[in-house]
Amino acid sequence: MPFVPVDVLLKRAEEGQYAVGAFNCNNMEIVQAIVAAAEAERAPVILQASQGAIKYAGLDFIVAMARQAAEKASVPVALHLDHGTSFAQVMQCIRAGFSSVMIDGSKLPLEENIALTRQVLAVARAVGVSVEAELGKIGGTEDDISVADWEAMLTDPEEARYFVEQTGVDSLAIAIGTAHGRYKGEPRLDFDRLARVRSLVQVPIVLHGSSGVPDEAIRRAIALGVRKVNIDTNIREAFVAAARRVVDAHPEEIDPRKILGPAREAATEIIREKIRLFGSSGKA
Ligand code: G3H
Ligand code: 13P
Ligand code: ZN
């Protein structure tokens, strides 16, 4: 199947009250693992490429690998730019064949974030590509911050309402306490804030930094309106742990396929678990 725009998948998720998994891919094995997991679960799925992935694999390689996997798949697959940094980069991704993009203006002042998001939307709409924006600051787990600073990073619900009204964006990533990477302790999620955003904003909500968030908290976030859940770190952990097991057990092994094959299987397994957790199993 050709790539499906993310907004199509998220509209169905809204109707069915579940979330679609958005999984970061950096190489062939992870692309294959994501699509194999979606096939096994009969689930729609989002492949997403970060700045790091584009730098590592190259934009054309990412698109070619993802397209190959999607065309052979019998479940809907989207290709999404994760944390797009500029108008120019978003245009390159649209031209390369992405079905959906994120423009992350969250570090900009509100009005500049709105202006950038609108600029992207004006082009993306014309070519049927959907757009995710971000409001609030999703932390890194290295951040050592006070409670007051932590709260200041989180998305202001009134601002979210204003942002969506001003931009007409397709989906909105919000900060409610999750962080990218591994958590030091138990993540603290502000569910009241999520509920308030949901009551003011009609578009699907996106949760970043979802690896390491306890299953119960993920279920609660989905019940409160999260429709796209981003996972990267948990895939990295499963992939590398499996590769390491082979290398440790067989230090003489020099066939990369014997190392990366089990890593791909481990990645498929964790992705299947996430798909089931998000409720998107059987929704293809
Ligand atoms: O959004 C963060 C993702 O985990 C991507 O990280 O740029 O190292 O690929 P990365
Ligand atoms: P994690 O690596 O914490 O799962 O975050 C992924 C993410 O939000 C990608 O945009
Ligand atoms: Zn993210």
Residue 130: pLDDT band (50, 70, 90) is very high
Side-chain-side CA neighbours of residue 258 (13 Å): 11
Is the pTM above the cut of 0.85? yes
Pick the range with the lowest mean pLDDT from 52-61, 149-158, 167-176: 149-158
Side-chain-side CA neighbours of residue 68 (13 Å): 11
Catalytic residue among 7, 60, 82, 170: 82
> Mean pLDDT over residues 124-151, rounded?
84
| Nearest CA-CA partner of 135 in 153, 147, 151, 121 | 153
Using alpha carbons only, give the angle 235, 240, 244 rounded to the nearest 5 degrees. 155
Element (H, E) at 140: strand 139-140
Active site residue 255: no
The whole-number pLDDT of residue 143 equals: 58
Using alpha carbons only, give the angle 169, 176, 132 rounded to the nearest 5 degrees. 20
Tens-digit pLDDT profile for residues 186-205 = 899 999 999 999 999 999 99
Tens-digit pLDDT profile for residues 228-260 = 999 999 999 999 999 999 999 999 999 999 999
The whole-number pLDDT of residue 260 equals: 98
Report which protein residue has its CA nearest ligand 1's atom 10: 52
Whether 50 is in the pocket of ligand 1, judged by its Cβ within 6 Å, is yes
- 142 has pLDDT over 60: no
Whether 232 is in the pocket of ligand 1, judged by its Cβ within 6 Å, is yes
Looking at every residue in the chain, the average pLDDT score rounds to: 96
Residue 128: pLDDT band (50, 70, 90) is very high
* Residues within 5 Å of ion ligand 3, judged at the Cβ atom: 208
Side-chain-side CA neighbours of residue 127 (13 Å): 17
Alpha helices in 78-109 (DSSP H): 87-96
Whether 24 is in the pocket of ligand 1, judged by its Cβ within 6 Å, is yes
